[in-house]
Amino acid sequence: MEGLKEIDKAYITMPKGFKANGISADLKGNNALDVALIISDVPCNVAGTYTSNLVKGHSLVRSIDVINQNNKIRGIIVNSKNANACVGQVGYDDACDIAKTVASEIGCNENEILTASTGVIGSRLPADKIKAVIPELVKSLSIDEQAAHNAELAMMTTDTVPKEVSASVTLKNGKQVTISGMAKGSGMIHPNLATMIGIFTTDADIDSKVLNTLIHNAVKHTFNRVSVDGDTSVCDMVIVMANGESGVTIEEGTEDFTIFDEALTSLANDIAQMIASDGEGATKFIEIEVYGAKNEADAKLIVTSVARSPLCKTAFFGMDANCGRIITAVGYSGADFDPNKVDLDLSGLPVYRNGCAIDFDEDLAHELLTKHDINVKITLHEGEAYDRMYTCDFSYDYVKINGSYRS
């Protein structure tokens, strides 16, 4: 991709002027990191996209309010283990108190600090524990790689691996900006943004309205095309902060905008794949593609239907080429197509043609399904529209994880 050079080492403080760290407030127990802070040396422009769930966590609602006021911000504090959701006005007040404590330590206004929470819904946030560690957390802020990783680890709940990306972006005039991103997300993952907590930083100078366009472009076919379990959480957001410390300005309608847009989308896509691959209890990463749909809406209906089908997902876990389950999910998706024209390929192996099952090598199919990465290609022969979804399988561990989540 033009201008994009992904960096082997990836962490949120690679863009100039950002610091981060994570600390334990004893929310998780066992001294595990559970509070993250990312701060810019100077005020940032910010834009975000948020869960479509009508029920929203109080930390998120407060951040939406701050961003909608078109405020410049200095950073964001994120806690794990507790979602700060569904507890009433006290939840919003707790988020405000936490932001006020951070602002006092940083030396800024409380409306320059965003808040985010993730974890169990319906329990009051132990705000006093969080506020007690904020002075130490602020003092420990650093540009160092380990400090940045600590911030990522502190956001994680049921995630088994960190999700961090970085890239250097060369613009038309040869000048460079840097973009970094980190995210948590493993369960309660389904489109209608966002399906996790994602934070991007960049040292480019970008107006908030332009940032809003960029982040919505970036999530449309990346984060908004990931489904782990069909559930959409109440605390989810993806934000991008731009502090301008590179001295490079990016404006909408320019070649530099296009380069940056493609780079941000590419990084978002990398994280989206990480989330699907790290789905709760997952053993497989599955890409579902639809070709030849009449329109984009039909293509999206089909990839979504297959991705959230428990029967399809359990078949992938069992390495069973039970492709009738896929065809069935296509059929009840609500899309408009002729069933007699549908072709289906499983990791390159033809299994259906013209809507009919065909003979295929069962041993080869099983071998293909033993691999971690699986591709499902559905061709409708109705038009030119395409879409795809990232998902994973359902294993025994998914039930174990979610059957005992609160404990």
**15 secondary structure, DSSP code:** S
- What mean pLDDT comes out for the span 309-338? 93
So what's the pLDDT on residue 233?
66
The values of phi and psi at residue 252, to 5°, are: -65, 145
**Angle in degrees, CA 338, 343, 349, rounded to 5:** 170
**118 secondary structure, DSSP code:** B
Mean pLDDT of the chain: 91
- What mean pLDDT comes out for the span 174-196? 73
Q: Alpha-carbon torsion 224, 226, 230, 231, what sign?
A: negative
User: In angstroms, rounded to a whole number, what is the distance separating the alpha carbons of residues 192 and 62?
Assistant: 20
* Cβ-contact 285, 390 below 8 angstroms: yes
The values of phi and psi at residue 399, to 5°, are: -65, -40
**CA-based end-to-end distance of the chain:** 45
Cα Dmax for the chain: 69
Asked if residue 283 has pLDDT above 80, the reply is yes
Mind listing the pLDDT tens digit for each residue in 77-99?
999 999 999 999 999 999 999 99
Mind listing the pLDDT tens digit for each residue in 208-243?
999 999 999 999 999 888 876 655 667 789 999 999
At residue 193 the predicted structure's pLDDT band, cuts being 50, 70 and 90, is: very low
Which sequence positions are flagged as catalytic?
A: 195
In order of 63, 67, 85, 88, 179, the CA distances from 115 in angstroms are 6, 11, 13, 16, 21
**Angle in degrees, CA 327, 345, 370, rounded to 5:** 100
At residue 401 the predicted structure's pLDDT band, cuts being 50, 70 and 90, is: low
Asked if residue 407 has pLDDT above 50, the reply is no
Mind listing the pLDDT tens digit for each residue in 24-73?
999 999 999 999 999 999 999 999 999 888 889 999 999 999 999 977 99
* Cβ-contact 249, 55 below 8 angstroms: no
In order of 36, 108, 258, the CA distances from 16 in angstroms are 19, 20, 22
Q: Which of 44, 48, 90 is nearest to 67 (CA)?
A: 48
* Bridge partners for 247 per DSSP: none
**133 secondary structure, DSSP code:** H
Asked if residue 13 has pLDDT above 80, the reply is yes
Mind listing the pLDDT tens digit for each residue in 344-385?
999 999 999 999 999 999 999 999 999 999 999 999 999 999
Q: Which of 207, 196, 208, 272 is nearest to 232 (CA)?
A: 196
So what's the pLDDT on residue 143?
98
User: In angstroms, rounded to a whole number, what is the distance separating the alpha carbons of residues 407 and 26?
Assistant: 15
At residue 398 the predicted structure's pLDDT band, cuts being 50, 70 and 90, is: low
* Cβ-contact 381, 341 below 8 angstroms: yes
* Cβ-contact 189, 282 below 8 angstroms: no
Asked if residue 153 has pLDDT above 50, the reply is yes
In order of 24, 76, 404, the CA distances from 407 in angstroms are 19, 28, 5
* Cβ-contact 113, 77 below 8 angstroms: yes
Asked if residue 195 has pLDDT above 60, the reply is no
User: In angstroms, rounded to a whole number, what is the distance separating the alpha carbons of residues 283 and 373?
Assistant: 9
Provide the angle, in degrees to the nearest 10, between the axes of the packed helices 324-331 and 296-307. 130
In this structure, what token pair is assigned to residue 350?
A: 């033809």
